[in-house]
Amino acid sequence: MFKPDETTYKLNDGNQMPVLGFGTYKLDKPELMNQSVQTAYNAGYRLFDTAQYYRNEKMLGDAIRNLGVRREDVFITDKVTEMNQGHDLTINSTDFSLQQLGTDYIDLLLVHWPVAEHFFETWEAFEELKKQGKVRSIGVSNFTRSQLELLKTQANEMPVVNQIETHPYLTQAPLIKFDHDQSIVTQAWSPLGRGLLLDNPMINKMAAHHHKSAAQIILRWDIQRGVAVIPKSQDPKRIAQNADLNFELSGDEMSMLDVMNRNQRTGNEPELVYELGKQYKMYQQ
């Protein structure tokens, strides 16, 4: 049985992470953040995902405090943006993020995008932040297999999570399998393809059969393939709906969703971001 406030994945460092999280990208007004976080918490969400790039850490921290719950009752994910990578900048920017969030620790800190210029020193700073107790778990976002294998050559500990763009039009099956084989949890950002898939006839046919929404079908597909999800919405009805995932897709339905892959991204290509970082370093030299 899927219960959003109870269903978790055990990370490779021993910590637990909720399978379902609430994405806060583009929630840029305090009233909207408060309303959305309250609705999400009431619906069972316990993981709240932000990033330095979103510029809403303070709003999220305030909204969580407004819930009136214990700090340990919520799980906060934050991400270090490209411009703040490098050893000292990572440490300093994370300290500032902690101030903005109004908390003593971040449950999960991610490298937002791989940047060649500061690739290893950023991760070294992450490991230090964990030892200092400022973060409980450390992971990455938008890393490819080759970047994870490169990180492994110098890392003292590997990421617990790889947060990537994945949805039925970008299934990322080989990367997800690699993550699993390395005991890394895959977490889907943009699991609904930024709305791209919600009009798909096949998905809507499944939705009608289960008396669910197209979004619920996609999120359930992710969970059944072992992927954590962080859908986002500003609509209270959809926020609650996206947490109502206590149903089962058949093997045939899972297969039909698996074969929809088009390798179609809605965001940046990780290798391109990484290479741009390398080019920038060469230019600086």
Q: Which of the residues are catalytic?
A: 54
Paired with 77 in beta bridges are 49, 108
CA distances in angstroms from 256 to 156, 168, 199, 251, 267, listed in the order given = 40, 9, 16, 9, 24
With vertex at residue 150, the alpha carbon angle to CA 269 and CA 271, rounded to the nearest 5 degrees, is 10
Helix (H) or strand (E) holding 201: helix 201-210
CA distance 202 to 200: 6
- Cβ(185)–Cβ(110) under 8 Å? no
Q: Which residues is 185 bridged to in the sheet?
A: 161
Any known ligand binding at 112? yes
CA distance 49 to 232: 10
**Ranges assigned E (strand) in the chain:** 8-10, 16-18, 21-23, 47-49, 75-80, 106-111, 135-141, 161-165, 185-189, 228-229
Summarize the annotated binding site for substrate as residue ranges: 112
